A = this chain, B = another copy of it.
């Protein structure tokens, strides 16, 4: 049997567009002589459809889209597509997450997802009823072990703990199958492509069955799907692997399976940096493209001369082209001359539109307006934030005037500790770097320059000490530990949920420093709640996958205040 793997990019809710995209690859598959074309999980609706699934009219439209697909599929070609389908039982969640077999103009069969991820960014049990049993799907004389995304992730035999009691991989193999087929909407995180490949390899080897894996590609708001569709042999050899971060297509003949290709080794940091770069580029491009015709003409970025805005800008150029990116530098009295010069150099290197709008006039106005109320107080955070917010107002005015998408530039390290001004530099529609730790931002900068073969991002931007430039001589290290220390703490506290005591013991860092950082993370939840959505590239990003109370205290009964978090405040750094 000839099977087409169709790694496509769909848009949430765009049933007409998604159906057309499926039919395009279906025609290509038919032309290539395929018998079966396989598409990603929930490709009809796009993933994640979230609470659109609560709208009966959306479900009606989805049913109609599936019927339309079945009627318009090329003759003689079977399709496997993913869609939400109503559960007609009077008990249980209202929907199933299904893989539908379309044949002869109709829905010939369907398999429901068994394991429903309900953690991090995933809320599938919010909508879907799990499938109670496993069965084989016969297509063209082959017995397919068809399952959906998470269904294959409970098969790590080595680990002592399993999230689910069902194991569809083992159960399907026990029934007797010729081929595993998994359709997925599995988002990118650093290390995920290799983790997936190894997991599939383990399943192939355990059961001596080949594996066809089709994953979604493309970005939907926060989530970036890398694709990574592949075919593995019964021995766990990779027979084909898709390109990452772009659509791809391949026809595999079960009767002429081919020979294993060479694959990248595990855990290369250079690979991770390149992947992060590509994920961010795709994330920015799809946010703009999928938002609808002409809503955003261009992307807009406030350039500070620092590393974060430079990298954000270069990524926007890679995503949209230099003619669709606008940079604005907004010096204040505390800005170094370098901040304007480096910004201008960056803009010239990238070939983008560039403006300089000094903010002294606005800052002076606010200080004058507030002088009667602020009389007798000392300059501090309030005055620093007026500068950052005057820049925010300026950028948003330009965004509103010319329909530009304002990108925010804060990295994960800053967002973690609240080193950012709400309604100031946090203003914007998409946070490009908010899941990238500062040290990784530097690596991405070097990667961008290496890719260009020259210092597109000025060397000075990379080498100078990071500074918010909100008071004379200010540098980040006045209030934060060095970024290599900070990042090491944050990776453990935010991504691994480890306690300050455990982190201090493991790293040898001073416990008080670790506790202060943990406190800053907890206290600044209120800021992140109002942050722009950010592109997720780690296993634990800020945003919809991390749900931490704003109003809370952290105390223990031994009398100590553990993380001393008086939580929410509208007081900024």
Contacts and interface: CB of A to CB of B under 8 A. Distances in A.
Contacts of A429: 526, 568-570
Contact of A369 (B50, B357, B498): B357
Contact of A557 (B68, B501, B553): B68
B373 A398 contact: yes
Interface in A501-558: 501-502, 526, 529-533, 544, 546-558
Contacts of A389: 392-393, 396-397, 423
Interface stretch (A8-16, A100-108, A336-344): A8-16
Given A91-B164, A568-B295, A357 B381 contact: no
A555 B369 contact: no
Contacts of A368: 361
B555 A16 contact: yes
B396 A393 contact: no
Interface string A67-78: 010000000000
A161 B90 contact: yes
Specify how many copies of this chain sit in the oligomer. Answer: 2
A559 B16 CA distance: 7
Contact of A52 (B365, B498, B552, B558): B552
Contacts of A12: 549, 551-553
A530 to B, nearest CB: 5
Contact of A291 (B292, B546, B551): B551
Interface string A381-417: 1110110011011101111110111100000000000
Contact of A553 (B126, B290, B385): B290
A399 B570 contact: yes
B50 A547 contact: yes
B221 A64 contact: no
A533 B544 contact: no
Contact of A362 (B92, B163, B362, B403): B362
Q: Point out which of A290, A364, A422, A555 has the most chain B C-beta atoms below 10 A from its C-beta.
A: A555
A255 to B, nearest CB: 35
A296 interface: yes
Interface in A488-503: 497-499, 501-502
Given A55-B497, A361-B365, A570-B428, A551 B290 contact: yes
Contacts of A533: 529, 550
Interface string A108-131: 000000000011000101100000
A170 to B, nearest CB: 14
A423 B46 contact: no
Nearest to A50: B547
A163 B386 CA distance: 51
Interface string A341-360: 00000000000000101110
A568 B13 contact: no
Contacts of A31: none
Interface residues of A, number: 126
Nearest to A374: B401
Nearest to A160: B90
A450 interface: no
Interface in A50-99: 50-52, 54-58, 61, 64-65, 68, 90-93
Contacts of A305: none
Interface in A224-273: none
A137 interface: no
A195 interface: no
A550 B535 CA distance: 13
B570 A396 contact: yes
A553 B13 CA distance: 5
Nearest to A61: B556
List the 5 closest pairs (A to B, CB-CB), nearest first. A292-B566, A57-B499, A14-B553, A382-B400, A16-B555
30 contacts: A12-B551, A13-B554, A13-B555, A13-B565, A50-B548, A52-B548, A55-B497, A56-B497, A56-B498, A57-B501, A90-B160, A92-B165, A118-B123, A119-B126, A290-B551, A290-B567, A291-B567, A295-B567, A295-B568, A295-B571, A361-B365, A362-B362, A362-B369, A366-B390, A369-B394, A370-B401, A373-B398, A389-B392, A406-B570, A428-B570
